[in-house]
Structure 1
Amino acid sequence: MKAVSPPVFDDAFQDKLKELMAWRRDVRRFRTDPVPGELIARLLEVAALAPSVGNSQPWRFVLVEDATRRQKVIANFEAANAEALADYSGEQARLYASLKLAGLKEAPVHLAVFCDEGTAQGHGLGRRTMPEMLDYSAVMAVYGFWLAARAHGLGVGWVSIFEPEALARDLDVPDDWKLVAYLCVGWPEDEQATPELERAGWEHRRGVESFIIRR
Protein backbone atom coordinates (compact mmCIF):
# COMPACT_ATOMS: atom_id res chain seq x y z
CA MET A 1 0.00 0.00 0.00
CA LYS A 2 1.16 3.52 -0.77
CA ALA A 3 2.31 5.40 2.31
CA VAL A 4 0.40 8.55 3.18
CA SER A 5 1.46 11.44 5.35
CA PRO A 6 -0.67 11.98 8.47
CA PRO A 7 -2.15 15.43 9.10
CA VAL A 8 -0.28 17.80 11.36
CA PHE A 9 -2.24 18.71 14.47
CA ASP A 10 -0.66 21.99 15.53
CA ASP A 11 -0.72 23.69 18.93
CA ALA A 12 -3.88 25.60 18.10
CA PHE A 13 -5.70 22.38 17.21
CA GLN A 14 -4.45 20.67 20.37
CA ASP A 15 -5.71 23.55 22.49
CA LYS A 16 -9.08 23.41 20.77
CA LEU A 17 -9.30 19.66 21.30
CA LYS A 18 -8.70 20.09 25.03
CA GLU A 19 -11.30 22.86 25.09
CA LEU A 20 -13.79 20.57 23.33
CA MET A 21 -13.24 17.89 25.95
CA ALA A 22 -13.60 20.41 28.77
CA TRP A 23 -16.94 21.57 27.34
CA ARG A 24 -18.25 18.03 26.86
CA ARG A 25 -20.96 18.11 29.47
CA ASP A 26 -23.69 15.64 30.37
CA VAL A 27 -26.73 17.65 29.29
CA ARG A 28 -30.14 17.08 30.86
CA ARG A 29 -31.91 20.30 29.83
CA PHE A 30 -32.76 20.51 26.13
CA ARG A 31 -34.68 22.72 23.78
CA THR A 32 -37.28 20.77 21.84
CA ASP A 33 -36.13 22.10 18.44
CA PRO A 34 -35.57 19.23 16.00
CA VAL A 35 -32.08 18.08 15.01
CA PRO A 36 -31.53 17.48 11.29
CA GLY A 37 -31.37 13.80 10.44
CA GLU A 38 -28.35 14.35 8.22
CA LEU A 39 -26.43 15.78 11.19
CA ILE A 40 -27.17 12.70 13.31
CA ALA A 41 -26.07 10.51 10.40
CA ARG A 42 -22.82 12.45 10.19
CA LEU A 43 -22.21 12.05 13.92
CA LEU A 44 -22.82 8.31 13.71
CA GLU A 45 -20.23 8.09 10.94
CA VAL A 46 -17.74 9.74 13.30
CA ALA A 47 -18.74 7.38 16.12
CA ALA A 48 -18.06 4.39 13.89
CA LEU A 49 -14.44 5.53 13.50
CA ALA A 50 -13.84 4.37 17.08
CA PRO A 51 -11.22 1.69 17.75
CA SER A 52 -12.57 -1.78 18.49
CA VAL A 53 -11.03 -5.01 19.72
CA GLY A 54 -10.08 -7.22 16.78
CA ASN A 55 -11.75 -4.67 14.46
CA SER A 56 -15.04 -6.17 15.65
CA GLN A 57 -17.08 -2.93 15.46
CA PRO A 58 -19.65 -4.29 17.96
CA TRP A 59 -21.63 -1.06 18.39
CA ARG A 60 -25.25 -1.06 17.27
CA PHE A 61 -27.06 2.29 17.10
CA VAL A 62 -30.84 2.30 17.68
CA LEU A 63 -32.64 5.56 16.99
CA VAL A 64 -35.75 5.46 19.16
CA GLU A 65 -38.33 7.45 17.22
CA ASP A 66 -41.61 5.68 18.00
CA ALA A 67 -43.64 7.59 20.61
CA THR A 68 -44.94 4.43 22.30
CA ARG A 69 -41.46 3.01 22.71
CA ARG A 70 -40.24 6.32 24.10
CA GLN A 71 -43.01 6.28 26.68
CA LYS A 72 -41.90 2.81 27.78
CA VAL A 73 -38.33 4.10 28.09
CA ILE A 74 -39.53 7.01 30.23
CA ALA A 75 -41.63 4.70 32.43
CA ASN A 76 -38.60 2.42 32.85
CA PHE A 77 -36.46 5.36 33.94
CA GLU A 78 -39.06 6.69 36.38
CA ALA A 79 -39.44 3.29 38.07
CA ALA A 80 -35.67 2.75 38.31
CA ASN A 81 -35.17 6.31 39.57
CA ALA A 82 -37.73 5.82 42.33
CA GLU A 83 -35.91 2.66 43.42
CA ALA A 84 -32.59 4.51 43.38
CA LEU A 85 -34.01 7.31 45.52
CA ALA A 86 -35.01 4.74 48.14
CA ASP A 87 -31.32 3.86 48.58
CA TYR A 88 -30.63 7.29 50.06
CA SER A 89 -31.81 8.95 53.24
CA GLY A 90 -31.83 12.32 54.91
CA GLU A 91 -30.22 15.27 53.18
CA GLN A 92 -28.71 13.10 50.47
CA ALA A 93 -32.17 11.77 49.57
CA ARG A 94 -33.51 15.32 49.43
CA LEU A 95 -30.67 16.37 47.16
CA TYR A 96 -31.07 13.31 44.94
CA ALA A 97 -34.79 14.01 44.53
CA SER A 98 -33.99 17.57 43.42
CA LEU A 99 -31.62 16.49 40.65
CA LYS A 100 -32.68 16.44 37.02
CA LEU A 101 -31.11 13.20 35.86
CA ALA A 102 -32.51 12.85 32.33
CA GLY A 103 -33.84 14.89 29.44
CA LEU A 104 -35.96 12.05 28.07
CA LYS A 105 -39.13 14.11 27.69
CA GLU A 106 -37.52 17.14 26.02
CA ALA A 107 -34.67 15.76 23.90
CA PRO A 108 -35.66 15.49 20.21
CA VAL A 109 -33.31 12.54 19.62
CA HIS A 110 -33.10 9.31 21.61
CA LEU A 111 -30.19 7.04 20.73
CA ALA A 112 -29.65 3.65 22.34
CA VAL A 113 -26.21 2.12 21.88
CA PHE A 114 -25.88 -1.63 22.21
CA CYS A 115 -22.94 -4.00 22.07
CA ASP A 116 -23.48 -7.03 19.84
CA GLU A 117 -21.88 -9.63 22.08
CA GLY A 118 -22.60 -12.39 19.55
CA THR A 119 -20.78 -10.74 16.66
CA ALA A 120 -18.44 -12.98 14.66
CA GLN A 121 -16.62 -9.98 13.24
CA GLY A 122 -13.06 -9.83 14.50
CA HIS A 123 -12.94 -13.63 14.97
CA GLY A 124 -12.59 -13.25 18.74
CA LEU A 125 -9.19 -11.55 18.56
CA GLY A 126 -8.27 -9.93 21.88
CA ARG A 127 -11.35 -11.21 23.69
CA ARG A 128 -10.43 -14.61 25.07
CA THR A 129 -9.21 -13.35 28.46
CA MET A 130 -11.07 -10.02 28.41
CA PRO A 131 -14.44 -10.46 26.67
CA GLU A 132 -15.53 -7.11 28.13
CA MET A 133 -13.34 -5.46 25.51
CA LEU A 134 -16.38 -5.62 23.23
CA ASP A 135 -18.29 -3.38 25.66
CA TYR A 136 -15.33 -1.04 25.97
CA SER A 137 -15.19 -0.73 22.19
CA ALA A 138 -18.84 0.35 22.11
CA VAL A 139 -18.11 2.91 24.84
CA MET A 140 -15.37 4.37 22.64
CA ALA A 141 -17.98 4.88 19.92
CA VAL A 142 -20.23 6.65 22.43
CA TYR A 143 -17.43 9.03 23.38
CA GLY A 144 -16.61 9.76 19.74
CA PHE A 145 -20.27 10.56 19.08
CA TRP A 146 -20.39 12.78 22.17
CA LEU A 147 -17.36 14.86 21.23
CA ALA A 148 -18.51 15.23 17.62
CA ALA A 149 -21.97 16.33 18.81
CA ARG A 150 -20.42 18.93 21.11
CA ALA A 151 -18.32 20.24 18.21
CA HIS A 152 -21.59 20.86 16.32
CA GLY A 153 -23.18 22.63 19.29
CA LEU A 154 -25.36 19.70 20.33
CA GLY A 155 -25.71 18.43 23.85
CA VAL A 156 -25.71 14.78 24.88
CA GLY A 157 -26.99 13.23 28.09
CA TRP A 158 -26.06 9.66 29.04
CA VAL A 159 -28.93 8.09 31.01
CA SER A 160 -28.00 5.00 33.03
CA ILE A 161 -30.96 4.70 35.41
CA PHE A 162 -32.83 1.87 33.70
CA GLU A 163 -33.65 -1.78 34.02
CA PRO A 164 -31.57 -2.70 30.93
CA GLU A 165 -33.17 -6.03 30.07
CA ALA A 166 -36.65 -4.50 30.04
CA LEU A 167 -35.39 -1.63 27.89
CA ALA A 168 -33.87 -4.09 25.41
CA ARG A 169 -37.20 -5.95 25.21
CA ASP A 170 -39.12 -2.72 24.68
CA LEU A 171 -36.79 -1.78 21.83
CA ASP A 172 -37.12 -5.29 20.34
CA VAL A 173 -33.41 -5.91 19.80
CA PRO A 174 -31.67 -9.32 19.57
CA ASP A 175 -31.06 -11.20 22.81
CA ASP A 176 -27.28 -11.04 22.49
CA TRP A 177 -27.22 -7.24 22.29
CA LYS A 178 -26.21 -5.62 25.59
CA LEU A 179 -27.26 -2.07 26.46
CA VAL A 180 -24.20 0.17 26.78
CA ALA A 181 -25.70 3.66 26.68
CA TYR A 182 -28.99 5.47 26.26
CA LEU A 183 -28.34 8.98 24.96
CA CYS A 184 -30.57 12.04 24.87
CA VAL A 185 -29.43 14.37 22.11
CA GLY A 186 -30.49 17.92 21.27
CA TRP A 187 -29.71 21.60 21.50
CA PRO A 188 -28.85 22.58 25.10
CA GLU A 189 -31.22 24.87 26.94
CA ASP A 190 -28.17 26.65 28.33
CA GLU A 191 -24.40 26.27 28.15
CA GLN A 192 -22.34 25.42 31.22
CA ALA A 193 -18.68 24.46 31.50
CA THR A 194 -19.14 23.09 35.03
CA PRO A 195 -20.86 19.69 35.40
CA GLU A 196 -24.44 19.94 36.63
CA LEU A 197 -23.84 17.51 39.49
CA GLU A 198 -21.01 19.73 40.68
CA ARG A 199 -23.18 22.84 40.47
CA ALA A 200 -25.88 21.04 42.45
CA GLY A 201 -23.43 20.04 45.17
CA TRP A 202 -23.70 16.28 44.60
CA GLU A 203 -20.04 15.61 43.76
CA HIS A 204 -16.98 17.58 42.68
CA ARG A 205 -14.44 16.64 40.07
CA ARG A 206 -10.99 15.74 41.33
CA GLY A 207 -7.69 16.74 39.80
CA VAL A 208 -5.80 14.25 37.67
CA GLU A 209 -3.05 13.99 40.29
CA SER A 210 -5.39 11.96 42.52
CA PHE A 211 -5.72 9.26 39.86
CA ILE A 212 -2.05 8.74 39.04
CA ILE A 213 -0.33 5.77 40.71
CA ARG A 214 3.27 4.83 40.06
CA ARG A 215 4.71 1.36 40.48
Structure 2
Amino acid sequence: MNPSQVPLIEGILARRTTNGPFLPDPVRREHQHLLMRVAQAAPSHFNSQPWRFVLVEQPQTIAQVADISGASMTELIEAGVFFERYRRYFRFSAAEMDARRDGIHIDHLPGPLRPFTRQVFSDAGLKLMRQLGVPKKLGEDNRRLVAGSPLLLAALLDRTEYRPGELSGFYSVFGLGAAIENIWNTVGALGMGIQFISTPMELPHRWQAIRDLLRVPDDLELMAVYRLGYLPEGEKRPTIDWSSRHRKRLGQFVSRETCDVPEVEG
Protein backbone atom coordinates (compact mmCIF):
# COMPACT_ATOMS: atom_id res chain seq x y z
CA MET A 1 0.00 0.00 0.00
CA ASN A 2 1.25 3.46 -0.92
CA PRO A 3 0.55 5.71 2.12
CA SER A 4 0.21 8.76 -0.11
CA GLN A 5 -2.82 7.12 -1.77
CA VAL A 6 -4.75 6.84 1.50
CA PRO A 7 -7.07 9.92 1.50
CA LEU A 8 -6.46 10.82 5.15
CA ILE A 9 -2.67 10.57 4.85
CA GLU A 10 -2.69 12.27 1.47
CA GLY A 11 -4.64 15.16 2.97
CA ILE A 12 -2.26 15.50 5.91
CA LEU A 13 0.78 15.52 3.61
CA ALA A 14 -0.88 18.14 1.39
CA ARG A 15 -1.75 20.47 4.29
CA ARG A 16 -1.01 24.11 3.56
CA THR A 17 -1.46 27.57 5.02
CA THR A 18 -3.45 30.01 2.88
CA ASN A 19 -1.62 33.31 2.40
CA GLY A 20 -3.98 34.69 -0.24
CA PRO A 21 -7.64 35.78 -0.37
CA PHE A 22 -10.73 33.63 0.04
CA LEU A 23 -13.94 33.61 -1.95
CA PRO A 24 -16.56 35.95 -0.46
CA ASP A 25 -19.06 33.08 -0.12
CA PRO A 26 -20.23 32.44 3.46
CA VAL A 27 -18.90 29.22 4.99
CA ARG A 28 -21.77 26.76 5.13
CA ARG A 29 -23.07 26.16 8.64
CA GLU A 30 -22.68 22.40 8.27
CA HIS A 31 -19.01 22.90 7.37
CA GLN A 32 -18.49 25.12 10.41
CA HIS A 33 -20.04 22.48 12.66
CA LEU A 34 -18.00 19.73 11.03
CA LEU A 35 -14.82 21.66 11.83
CA MET A 36 -15.97 21.95 15.43
CA ARG A 37 -16.66 18.22 15.59
CA VAL A 38 -13.21 17.26 14.30
CA ALA A 39 -11.72 19.66 16.86
CA GLN A 40 -13.80 17.98 19.53
CA ALA A 41 -12.39 14.60 18.48
CA ALA A 42 -8.85 15.63 19.50
CA PRO A 43 -7.22 14.02 22.55
CA SER A 44 -7.13 15.90 25.85
CA HIS A 45 -5.81 15.09 29.31
CA PHE A 46 -8.44 13.09 31.26
CA ASN A 47 -10.88 14.08 28.48
CA SER A 48 -10.87 17.59 29.94
CA GLN A 49 -11.64 19.18 26.55
CA PRO A 50 -10.20 22.55 27.67
CA TRP A 51 -10.76 24.25 24.32
CA ARG A 52 -13.43 26.81 23.56
CA PHE A 53 -14.12 28.37 20.17
CA VAL A 54 -15.87 31.47 18.87
CA LEU A 55 -17.15 31.48 15.28
CA VAL A 56 -17.31 35.02 13.88
CA GLU A 57 -19.32 35.84 10.74
CA GLN A 58 -20.60 39.37 11.35
CA PRO A 59 -18.93 41.66 8.76
CA GLN A 60 -18.63 44.50 11.27
CA THR A 61 -16.69 42.35 13.74
CA ILE A 62 -14.49 40.90 11.00
CA ALA A 63 -13.77 44.43 9.74
CA GLN A 64 -12.72 45.51 13.25
CA VAL A 65 -10.40 42.51 13.63
CA ALA A 66 -9.02 43.32 10.17
CA ASP A 67 -8.29 46.92 11.21
CA ILE A 68 -6.47 45.70 14.33
CA SER A 69 -4.50 43.13 12.32
CA GLY A 70 -3.51 45.60 9.61
CA ALA A 71 -2.45 48.23 12.14
CA SER A 72 -0.44 45.58 14.00
CA MET A 73 1.41 44.60 10.83
CA THR A 74 2.25 48.23 10.01
CA GLU A 75 3.44 48.88 13.57
CA LEU A 76 5.62 45.75 13.66
CA ILE A 77 7.25 46.37 10.28
CA GLU A 78 7.73 50.10 10.88
CA ALA A 79 9.52 49.46 14.16
CA GLY A 80 11.58 46.58 12.77
CA VAL A 81 10.27 44.32 15.54
CA PHE A 82 8.95 41.60 13.24
CA PHE A 83 12.15 41.07 11.27
CA GLU A 84 14.37 41.34 14.31
CA ARG A 85 12.29 38.76 16.16
CA TYR A 86 12.12 36.23 13.32
CA ARG A 87 15.30 36.91 11.32
CA ARG A 88 16.74 33.48 12.18
CA TYR A 89 14.00 31.75 10.18
CA PHE A 90 14.67 33.58 6.89
CA ARG A 91 16.37 31.76 4.01
CA PHE A 92 17.44 33.71 0.92
CA SER A 93 18.22 31.04 -1.68
CA ALA A 94 16.93 27.66 -2.81
CA ALA A 95 20.31 26.13 -1.91
CA GLU A 96 20.17 27.48 1.64
CA MET A 97 16.61 26.24 2.00
CA ASP A 98 17.54 22.78 0.74
CA ALA A 99 20.46 22.51 3.14
CA ARG A 100 18.56 23.69 6.24
CA ARG A 101 15.13 22.31 5.28
CA ASP A 102 13.42 24.60 7.76
CA GLY A 103 12.42 28.24 8.00
CA ILE A 104 10.96 30.20 5.11
CA HIS A 105 12.36 30.98 1.66
CA ILE A 106 12.03 34.70 0.91
CA ASP A 107 11.45 34.39 -2.82
CA HIS A 108 8.71 36.98 -3.41
CA LEU A 109 9.34 40.66 -2.70
CA PRO A 110 8.12 43.99 -4.16
CA GLY A 111 10.11 44.93 -7.25
CA PRO A 112 12.15 47.78 -5.69
CA LEU A 113 13.32 45.48 -2.89
CA ARG A 114 14.39 42.48 -4.97
CA PRO A 115 17.95 43.68 -5.64
CA PHE A 116 18.38 43.99 -1.84
CA THR A 117 16.95 40.60 -0.85
CA ARG A 118 19.68 39.69 1.63
CA GLN A 119 19.85 43.20 3.07
CA VAL A 120 16.11 43.83 3.19
CA PHE A 121 15.85 42.90 6.86
CA SER A 122 18.92 44.88 7.94
CA ASP A 123 18.76 48.40 9.39
CA ALA A 124 19.53 49.84 5.95
CA GLY A 125 16.89 47.65 4.36
CA LEU A 126 14.34 48.70 6.96
CA LYS A 127 15.09 52.35 6.23
CA LEU A 128 14.53 51.70 2.52
CA MET A 129 11.27 49.91 3.25
CA ARG A 130 10.06 52.89 5.26
CA GLN A 131 10.99 55.24 2.40
CA LEU A 132 9.07 53.07 -0.06
CA GLY A 133 6.02 52.90 2.21
CA VAL A 134 6.30 49.12 2.58
CA PRO A 135 5.04 48.95 6.21
CA LYS A 136 1.78 50.68 5.30
CA LYS A 137 1.46 48.58 2.15
CA LEU A 138 1.92 45.36 4.09
CA GLY A 139 -0.50 46.55 6.76
CA GLU A 140 -3.13 47.32 4.13
CA ASP A 141 -2.57 43.96 2.43
CA ASN A 142 -3.01 42.26 5.80
CA ARG A 143 -6.14 44.25 6.59
CA ARG A 144 -7.70 43.38 3.23
CA LEU A 145 -6.98 39.66 3.61
CA VAL A 146 -8.66 39.51 7.01
CA ALA A 147 -11.53 41.81 6.00
CA GLY A 148 -12.23 39.59 2.97
CA SER A 149 -12.51 36.45 5.09
CA PRO A 150 -16.06 35.16 5.53
CA LEU A 151 -15.28 33.38 8.80
CA LEU A 152 -12.98 33.98 11.76
CA LEU A 153 -12.29 31.38 14.41
CA ALA A 154 -11.08 32.33 17.88
CA ALA A 155 -9.48 29.54 19.93
CA LEU A 156 -9.52 29.84 23.71
CA LEU A 157 -8.62 27.76 26.74
CA ASP A 158 -10.48 27.28 30.00
CA ARG A 159 -8.33 28.87 32.73
CA THR A 160 -9.34 26.20 35.24
CA GLU A 161 -7.34 23.80 33.05
CA TYR A 162 -4.86 26.19 31.45
CA ARG A 163 -2.46 27.04 34.28
CA PRO A 164 0.94 28.08 32.84
CA GLY A 165 3.87 26.72 34.82
CA GLU A 166 1.94 23.61 35.81
CA LEU A 167 1.53 20.35 33.90
CA SER A 168 -2.10 21.25 33.28
CA GLY A 169 -0.84 24.21 31.26
CA PHE A 170 1.15 21.92 28.98
CA TYR A 171 -1.70 19.42 28.70
CA SER A 172 -4.14 22.18 27.76
CA VAL A 173 -1.89 23.66 25.07
CA PHE A 174 -1.18 20.18 23.73
CA GLY A 175 -4.90 19.43 23.52
CA LEU A 176 -5.72 22.71 21.80
CA GLY A 177 -2.89 22.13 19.35
CA ALA A 178 -4.32 18.73 18.47
CA ALA A 179 -7.79 20.25 18.04
CA ILE A 180 -6.49 22.99 15.73
CA GLU A 181 -4.46 20.46 13.72
CA ASN A 182 -7.64 18.41 13.19
CA ILE A 183 -9.31 21.54 11.84
CA TRP A 184 -6.30 22.36 9.65
CA ASN A 185 -6.28 18.87 8.16
CA THR A 186 -10.02 19.00 7.45
CA VAL A 187 -10.37 22.35 5.68
CA GLY A 188 -8.64 21.04 2.55
CA ALA A 189 -11.26 18.32 2.11
CA LEU A 190 -13.94 21.02 2.20
CA GLY A 191 -12.28 23.18 -0.46
CA MET A 192 -11.30 25.67 2.21
CA GLY A 193 -8.16 27.33 3.52
CA ILE A 194 -7.04 28.64 6.89
CA GLN A 195 -4.46 31.14 8.14
CA PHE A 196 -3.29 32.23 11.57
CA ILE A 197 -3.96 35.94 12.27
CA SER A 198 -0.74 36.34 14.21
CA THR A 199 0.27 40.00 14.10
CA PRO A 200 -2.05 41.28 16.89
CA MET A 201 -0.53 38.70 19.25
CA GLU A 202 2.86 40.38 18.82
CA LEU A 203 1.58 43.56 20.48
CA PRO A 204 -0.19 43.26 23.85
CA HIS A 205 -2.39 46.35 23.38
CA ARG A 206 -3.62 45.06 20.00
CA TRP A 207 -4.31 41.59 21.43
CA GLN A 208 -6.27 43.14 24.29
CA ALA A 209 -8.36 45.03 21.73
CA ILE A 210 -9.37 41.73 20.15
CA ARG A 211 -10.12 40.24 23.59
CA ASP A 212 -12.39 43.21 24.28
CA LEU A 213 -14.06 42.92 20.89
CA LEU A 214 -14.86 39.25 21.45
CA ARG A 215 -15.91 39.88 25.07
CA VAL A 216 -13.57 37.21 26.41
CA PRO A 217 -14.46 36.59 30.08
CA ASP A 218 -11.85 36.33 32.82
CA ASP A 219 -12.16 32.54 33.04
CA LEU A 220 -11.02 32.07 29.43
CA GLU A 221 -7.65 32.77 27.79
CA LEU A 222 -7.67 33.87 24.15
CA MET A 223 -4.94 31.80 22.49
CA ALA A 224 -5.26 32.39 18.75
CA VAL A 225 -7.46 33.74 15.95
CA TYR A 226 -7.69 32.25 12.45
CA ARG A 227 -9.32 33.30 9.20
CA LEU A 228 -11.10 30.73 7.04
CA GLY A 229 -12.97 30.56 3.76
CA TYR A 230 -13.38 28.75 0.48
CA LEU A 231 -10.44 28.88 -1.90
CA PRO A 232 -10.60 30.58 -5.31
CA GLU A 233 -8.99 29.19 -8.44
CA GLY A 234 -5.40 30.42 -8.82
CA GLU A 235 -4.28 32.35 -5.76
CA LYS A 236 -2.36 35.61 -6.19
CA ARG A 237 0.67 35.84 -3.91
CA PRO A 238 0.79 38.71 -1.38
CA THR A 239 3.26 41.60 -1.67
CA ILE A 240 5.83 39.87 0.52
CA ASP A 241 5.37 36.12 0.52
CA TRP A 242 7.50 33.08 1.19
CA SER A 243 7.70 29.38 0.57
CA SER A 244 7.86 27.00 3.52
CA ARG A 245 7.12 23.60 1.98
CA HIS A 246 10.50 22.10 2.84
CA ARG A 247 10.65 19.67 5.74
CA LYS A 248 13.71 18.35 7.55
CA ARG A 249 15.20 15.05 6.44
CA LEU A 250 14.48 12.14 8.78
CA GLY A 251 17.95 12.13 10.29
CA GLN A 252 17.65 15.82 11.14
CA PHE A 253 14.80 15.35 13.58
CA VAL A 254 14.52 11.62 14.39
CA SER A 255 16.94 9.52 16.46
CA ARG A 256 17.04 5.78 17.09
CA GLU A 257 17.21 4.41 20.66
CA THR A 258 19.14 7.42 22.03
CA CYS A 259 19.37 11.11 21.10
CA ASP A 260 22.88 10.72 19.64
CA VAL A 261 22.00 8.18 16.90
CA PRO A 262 20.34 9.87 13.89
CA GLU A 263 17.73 7.79 12.10
CA VAL A 264 18.68 6.51 8.63
CA GLU A 265 16.36 7.09 5.66
CA GLY A 266 14.79 4.12 3.89
Work out whether the TM-score is over 0.5. yes
Partner of 2:52: 60
Q: Does 1:186 align with 2:215?
A: no
Following the alignment from structure 1 to structure 2, what is the Cα–Cα distance between the partners of residues 11 and 159?
35
Instruction: Among all aligned residue pairs of Structure 1 and Structure 2, give the percentage whose two residues are the same amino acid.
Output: 26
| Alignment CA distance shift 1:14-1:176 (3 Å) | farther
1:50/1:140 contact within 8 Å kept: yes
TM-superposed CA distance for 1:146, in Å, is 1.4
Partner of 1:158: 196
1:30/1:186 contact within 8 Å kept: yes
The AA in structure 1 aligned to 2:179 is: A
Partner of 1:3: none
Partner of 2:213: 170
State which structure, 1 or 2, has the greater radius of gyration over its C-alpha atoms: 2
Q: Does 1:205 align with 2:239?
A: no
1:111/1:185 contact within 8 Å kept: yes
Following the alignment from structure 2 to structure 1, what is the Cα–Cα distance between the partners of residues 75 and 244?
20
Unmatched runs of 5 consecutive residues or more in structure 2: 85-118, 201-205, 261-266
What is the 5 A alignment of 1:1-215?
A: 15-27=6-18, 28-86=20-78, 87=80, 88=83, 91-92=120-121, 93=126, 94=129, 103-119=145-161, 128-129=166-167, 131-162=169-200, 163-190=206-233, 200-201=241-242, 205-209=246-250, 210-212=252-254, 214-215=259-260
Count of residue pairs brought into register by the alignment: 197
Following the alignment from structure 2 to structure 1, what is the Cα–Cα distance between the partners of residues 46 and 73?
37
The AA in structure 1 aligned to 2:218 is: D
Deviates more, 1:60-69 or 1:38-47: 60-69
Unmatched runs of 5 consecutive residues or more in structure 1: 1-9
Alignment RMSD: 3.2
- Pick the structure with more helix per residue: 2
Partner of 2:101: none
TM-superposed CA distance for 1:131, in Å, is 1.7
The AA in structure 2 aligned to 1:29 is: P
Following the alignment from structure 1 to structure 2, what is the Cα–Cα distance between the partners of residues 67 and 35?
13
